C-alpha cells in the first residue's frame, strides 16, 4: 500500500463487508442452535437401532459440528474485518488530516518510492529556513509511518483471514480470531524482547504495533516487558517537534568581518566563564553553538524539572487537563476486558513554556533554552487490586525540545560584555556559529490517577552539569 492508495481507497465497501459477515455469523449461529436443539436432540432421543440409525446419528453429529465450525469461521472473519476497517479508517483520516495541515503550511504531498511520502514546497525558496526543513521532514516521516502502519494492518488482515479459512473449502472453522491482535501480538512481543537492542526501524514498527493492539493485549505486554518497551523508545513523542521560530536564517549566508571575529572572541570568553558563575548548561549550549557543528544536543530534563518551576507547572497542567479522560478510558477498557489488566498509550499536545528569568538555578536554563516546547507521553494502566477493583495509574515522561538560536532585536545581559543578541545571531549568518536542535526526556515517573495532585518530580540527578560531564554531554571536549 502506498500513500495514494491509502488516501483513495473506498473503505465503505469494507464497512459493508463487515456488516454482511456480522449478519452471516448471526444467521449461522441461529441455524446451529436449531440443529442442536432440534435435529440432534431428536436423533439422540430416538429409540431405534441398526445400521441406518448409526449412520443417521453420525451424519447429524457431523452436521451440527459443521454448523459450529462455520459459525467460528464467520465470527473470525467478522472480527478481523471489523478490526481492520476501524484501523484503516483511523489511519486514512490521520493521513488526510496531516495532508491538509501540510498543504496549509505551504507544502505539496505525493507518493514516493517504497511506500515513502514526498514533501515539497508549493513555492520554491532559495532561503529555506531550518524550521521549514524540519517541518518537511516531520510531515514526510509521519505520513510515511502512517502508510507503513496501514500496509501492516492490511497484511495482518490477509494473514488472519487465511488462518481462519484454513485453505480447505470443505472444512470450516480453523484458527479463531476476535481481532487482529492474534496476528500482531506475537510480532510485538518479539520486538519488545529486543529492548534497547532494537534498531530504529524495529522501534518504529513496535510503536505502530503497540498502537494497533487492543488494551488487553497491551496490558499483557506491559506486564511482561515494561522495561524492555521503555528501553526500545515506546514513549518517544509523536507530536510535531519543530522550532517555534525561524531563527537567524540561512547558515553562512554572508562573509564575516573583523568585528565579527572580535566579538566571537568575547562570546567564547562568556561561554568559558559560564561554568564558574553557576551557569553550566548556558555555557555548554553557547559553547556548542560557537563551535559550529550544528549537531543536536541532549537536554537533562530531570534537572530542568528540578530547577525550574515554570516547566514543572506546564508539565503538571498538561497532565491535569487529561487526567479525568485518561482515567475514564482506562476504566472503560478494564470493564470491557472483564477485569483483566489493560494499558492505553497517551500523549499530550505540545505546549510552549518560558523558563524563569530569575537569579538561581532557573536562570541557567533561561539562558540555555529560554522558551521551549514540552509534552508528556505515557502509558495508563488499569489492573485489579486486592479487592478486584481497578487501580489506575500512569507511567510517563516529560519531553522538551527547542532550537538554540538568538533573536535579533533583543538584549540578554551576560556579564560585563558588549556582545548583544544581534551579534550572537549574526555569528550563524556569517558561518562562525551554528544553530542546533535540543531535545530530551525525563526519567519515567509513576503516578496514581486515583489520587490528586500534580504528580511526582524526578529526583535531582545530583550532577554538576559542567561541560566535562560526559554522562550529559557526548560532545564535550
Q: What pLDDT score was predicted for residue 429?
A: 92
Asked if 349 and 355 count as a contact pair (C-beta separation under 8 A), the reply is no
Q: How many residues does the chain have?
A: 477
Cα separation, 132 vs 121, whole angstroms = 9
Give the mean model confidence (pLDDT) for residues 368-390: 95
Q: Model confidence over 325-366: pLDDT tens digits?
A: 999 999 999 999 999 999 999 999 999 999 998 888 898 999
* Region of poorest pLDDT, from 164-178, 271-285, 362-376, 400-414: 164-178
Phi-psi region of 38 (alpha: psi -120 to 50; beta: other; left: phi over 0): alpha
What local confidence, expressed as pLDDT, does residue 368 receive?
92
| Dist. CA 130–CA 107, nearest whole Å | 15
88 vs 296: CA distance, rounded Å:
35
- Residue 248 · residue 406 · CB < 8 Å: yes
Q: Which residues pair with 403 in a beta bridge?
A: 437
pLDDT mean over 59-85:
74
Residue 400 contacts residue 374 (beta carbons within 8 Å): yes
Over residues 234-260, the pLDDT tens digits come to 999 999 998 777 788 888 889 999 999
Distance separating alpha carbons of residues 108 and 234, to the nearest angstrom: 30
Q: Distance between CA 406 and CA 309 in Å, rounded?
A: 23
The CA distance from 352 to 314, in Å, is: 8
Which residue in this structure is represented by grid cell 487529561? 322
For 287-296, the pLDDT digits (tens) are 999 999 999 9
Highest mean pLDDT among 15-29, 218-232, 358-372: 218-232
Q: What is the pLDDT of residue 246?
A: 76
For residue 54, pLDDT beyond 90: no
State residue 37's pLDDT score. Answer: 47
Of the spans 41-50, 82-91, 261-270, which averages the highest pLDDT?
Answer: 82-91
pLDDT of residue 469: 45
Helix, strand, or coil (residue 270): helix
CA distance 10 to 432: 54
pLDDT at residue 31, as a whole number: 64
Q: Which three cell numbers stand for residue 340?
A: 483483566
Question: Is the pLDDT reported for residue 64 higher than 60?
Answer: no
Amino acid at each position: 500500500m502506498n500513500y495514494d492508495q491509502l488516501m483513495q481507497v473506498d473503505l465503505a465497501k469494507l464497512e459493508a463487508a463487515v456488516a454482511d459477515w456480522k449478519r452471516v455469523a448471526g444467521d449461522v449461529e441461529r441455524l446451529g442452535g436449531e440443529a442442536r436443539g432440534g435435529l440432534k436432540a431428536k436423533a439422540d432421543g430416538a429409540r431405534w437401532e441398526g445400521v441406518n440409525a448409526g449412520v443417521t446419528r453420525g451424519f447429524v453429529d457431523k452436521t451440527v459440528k459443521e454448523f459450529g465450525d462455520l459459525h467460528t469461521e464467520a465470527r473470525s472473519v467478522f472480527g478481523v474485518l471489523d478490526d481492520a476497517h476501524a484501523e484503516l479508517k483511523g489511519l486514512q483520516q490521520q493521513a488526510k488530516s496531516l495532508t491538509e495541515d501540510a498543504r496549509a503550511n505551504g507544502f505539496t504531498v505525493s507518493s514516493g518510492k517504497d511506500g515513502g511520502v514526498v514533501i515539497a514546497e508549493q513555492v520554491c525558496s532559495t532561503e529555506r529556513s531550518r524550521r521549514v526543513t524540519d517541518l518537511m521532514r516531520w510531515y514526510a516521516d509521519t505520513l510515511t509511518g502512517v502508510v507503513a502502519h496501514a500496509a501492516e494492518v492490511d497484511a495482518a488482515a490477509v494473514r488472519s483471514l487465511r488462518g481462519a479459512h484454513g485453505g480447505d473449502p470443505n472444512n470450516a472453522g480453523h484458527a479463531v480470531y476476535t481481532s487482529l491482535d492474534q496476528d500482531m501480538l506475537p510480532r510485538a512481543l518479539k520486538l519488545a524482547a529486543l529492548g534497547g537492542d532494537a534498531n530504529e526501524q524495529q522501534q518504529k514498527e513496535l510503536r505502530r504495533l503497540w498502537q494497533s493492539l487492543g488494551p488487553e493485549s497491551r496490558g499483557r505486554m506491559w506486564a511482561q516487558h515494561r522495561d524492555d518497551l521503555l528501553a526500545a523508545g515506546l514513549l518517544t513523542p509523536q507530536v510535531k517537534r519543530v522550532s517555534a521560530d525561524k531563527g537567524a536564517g540561512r547558515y553562512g549566508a554572508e562573509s564575516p568581518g573583523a568585528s565579527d571575529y572580535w566579538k566571537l572572541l568575547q562570546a567564547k570568553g562568556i561561554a568559558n566563564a559560564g561554568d564558574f558563575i553557576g551557569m553550566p548548561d548556558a555555557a555548554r549550549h553557547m559553547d556548542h553553538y560557537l563551535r559550529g557543528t550544528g549537531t543536536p544536543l541532549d537536554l537533562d530534563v530531570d534537572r530542568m524539572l528540578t530547577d525550574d518551576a515554570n516547566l514543572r507547572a506546564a508539565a503538571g497542567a498538561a497532565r491535569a487537563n487529561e487526567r479525568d479522560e485518561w482515567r475514564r478510558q482506562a476504566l472503560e477498557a478494564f470493564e470491557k476486558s472483564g477485569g483483566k489488566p489493560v494499558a492505553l498509550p497517551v500523549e499530550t499536545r505540545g505546549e510552549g513554556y518560558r523558563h524563569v528569568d530569575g537569579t538561581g538555578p532557573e536562570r541557567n536554563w533561561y539562558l540555555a533554552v529560554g522558551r521551549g516546547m514540552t509534552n508528556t507521553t505515557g502509558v495508563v494502566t488499569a489492573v485489579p487490586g486486592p479487592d478486584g477493583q481497578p487501580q489506575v495509574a500512569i507511567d510517563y515522561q516529560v519531553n522538551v525540545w527547542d532550537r538554540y538560536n538568538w533573536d535579533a532585536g533583543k538584549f540578554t545581559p551576560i556579564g560585563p560584555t558588549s556582545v548583544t543578541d544581534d551579534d550572537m545571531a549574526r555569528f550563524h549568518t556569517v558561518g562562525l556559529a551554528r544553530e542546533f536542535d535540543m531535545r530530551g526526556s525525563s526519567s519515567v515517573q509513576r503516578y496514581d490517577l486515583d489520587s490528586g495532585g500534580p504528580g511526582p518530580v524526578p529526583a535531582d540527578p545530583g550532577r554538576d552539569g559542567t561541560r566535562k560531564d560526559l554522562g550529559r554531554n557526548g560532545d564535550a571536549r
